[in-house]
Each structure stands twice: as structure tokens, then as C-alpha cells.
Structure 1
Amino acid sequence: MFESEEVRHHLPDCLNELGGQLDVDAYAKVLVYLAQKQQRSDVSAAHKYRAVFVRYLRMIDSLGSEFTTNVLKSQGLMLLSARGEWKSPTQLAWPTHGIVSNDQLDDDFSQALSNLRARANQVSINIELENGLEPFEEAYKNTAQCLCNYFAPWRDYVPPEIIGAFISILGDGFNGQVKVLAANYLGQNSVEGAGGYCRG
């Protein structure tokens, strides 16, 4: 199964003795292990662990989208963002224009998951969370936090009132969180006033 000595060197000892397909839990544990080793290694070794991780993603992806989805839903499993940070698959979108790099899946990881991506008809990786909420419900609950993360780097280039005015037309959000975020950006200006002005 592991023909390359370079690959064997970076795996737990027990895996070097195995052959054939592993189950969902075993693949998830391998990916968690590789991610942890990559994060704790020097640059040279980290590059090798990353390459082995990508190789495993390709192998998992070849086993079908349902199997791959089940692996990616495993607790503690993280994928690399385009900015190089390890994040939950639920926090990453496929590489696309208009999304900050820290919220996009690394390009090599995306290519390794090409079968899964081909099956997805939307931008999001769309993995349901452990708590059983549908992806839309979970996304709705996290809208304010996503907007906050998205607009944080803009503060250096755009007046906060402009950002607040844009956010104010998006509605209240879950438990009024989007409205509160808009108010934070607007300062002394009212959310209702800014939203009404933007709507015309």
C-alpha cells in the first residue's frame, strides 16, 4: 500500500503493516495525525507531511463522495486553508474569487478532493456539523461571525460606516446578531437610518 519509503517514514508504525482500504474512522485518525505532525515539524518535514496528507485525501476521494464526506465530518479533522491555517471543513469554501484566502480550501487539497468537488453544486464544502443541523441553519446562525471575519481586514481601507451601511441592509440575522454587528460599524449612526438610505 505504501510503496514510497518517504511516505512510510511519516506514518504511524501500525499503518505501515496494513494494506487495502481502511474504514472512515481509521482514515480520519490518519489525517488528524498527519495534520498534527505537520504543524509541529520544521519546514522540510512539514512539507513532507503535507504531501502525505494530500496523497491520503486523493485516496479517500477515490472511494466516493459519501465516504469522503463521512471522513471529513469526523471530530477533530482539519483541512488547510489557502492562507496555511488548519480549519474545520465546515469553515472552508472551495477556492473561488471573492472569498478571503483564510476561508478557502488550499488549492492542492481542493484538487485532491476533485471528485467530491465535482459532486458539490455550490461554493461551500457543505459538510453537516456534528449537532445535526442542516448546513443552511448552521450558516444562518454563523452569519454575523462570518461577516465580522470577512470585513475585519477591510477596516484598514474602508471607513467602518460604509461597512456598517452595507451590513445594515442584510437584516437582523440570527438573534439580531447581524444588526448588532452593523451597529458596531456604524458608531453613532442608526442601523435603520443607514439601511433605509442604502435601500433608497
Structure 2
Amino acid sequence: MGKKMKPVAFLYLPAVDDTGQCLERLSVTEQGTALVLGEYGLLNPLAIMHELKSSWEGDIYLELTAAGKNRDLIKSYLVSAAQSGFAGVVLASGLFTIAPGMGKPVFDLDPAQMLKLALDLKTKAVIPENFIIAVRAPEGGEAALARARFFLENGADLAVYKNAPPEALKDHAALIRNI
């Protein structure tokens, strides 16, 4: 079930709107911690990875959301993230809300299908074997625990939690904290 890893903490930057502002914000953040870049800003994290790698000492992960992407685009993001130097991805469904001026969200794949797609790319050596595939874990009761366990039993390396993970999954979980 998942890769047994020592507990990991992720710092989470949900939106990047300006490269300089992002670098400035990270300069006052503890270095050496794993960083997750979200897709909710104006800039695609893939576009600034080169600059981030030269200024951030820890691993950098891409939060890859299913919202608004079809399977071809998700595949492209996975391959591009691996080629750009991201340590891995955190797969998530994305926001279900519609903000003013935003298009209606489209969901071609859910996180379970995204996980299968990513694992198929690993099997075919399109993305490297050491590329970490984590999944944003649902929080809540028994149903959420069963879903997180499903992800781990079906190839996810980690389940990523906003709050403390269930005791049963603590060896396969990481906490995420907004910065």
C-alpha cells in the first residue's frame, strides 16, 4: 500500500500570479521543505519551474487538478512536469465552484482515473520511476478513509491531507500547509 515513507510536510502555494512575487514570497519561507505549486493563479507553474529550481532548495511538486482538462491535457501536464524537473505531482479533482468570469468546470477524468493514467506512463517509462504520484486525500469519516486507502492500494505513493491523516494511513500520508 503506497510507498512507506517517513512523514512529509508540504508547503502549498495555491496560486502564482507573478514570478517575482512568488520568488519574494518563497524567500521568507523555510527552505528545504517540499513545495507544492497549485494551478489556481494566472501563471501555469510549468512556466516558472526553471526559475524556482534555482532558488528553492527542496523538492517541488505540481498540484495537477482535473477541473477543466481532458485526458490528453492531463497526460501532457504529467509528462511536462516530469521533464521540467518537478519531483512529482499531487493529483486533485479541483474546485467545483464557478467564480465570476470563469468557465464552467469540465471533468473528463477523476483522481482515480488520473492515477491510472500516471501509473501507465510510469510503466511505459514515459515518466521516470522515481516521479512521485500523490493524491489529495478526501477528509472525513469511513468513506473518506476507504477512498484514500483505495488510492494507496492502487499505486499512489502518498495521500496528502490538509488536516491530520487517519492513524491507519499515517505512514503513507503527508500534511499540506498553505503559505
- TM above 0.5, yes or no, is no
- Which structure has more relative contact order (CA 8 Å, sep 6+)? It is 2
* TM-score normalized with structure 1 length: 0.27
More helix by share: 1
Point out the structure with the larger strand share. 2
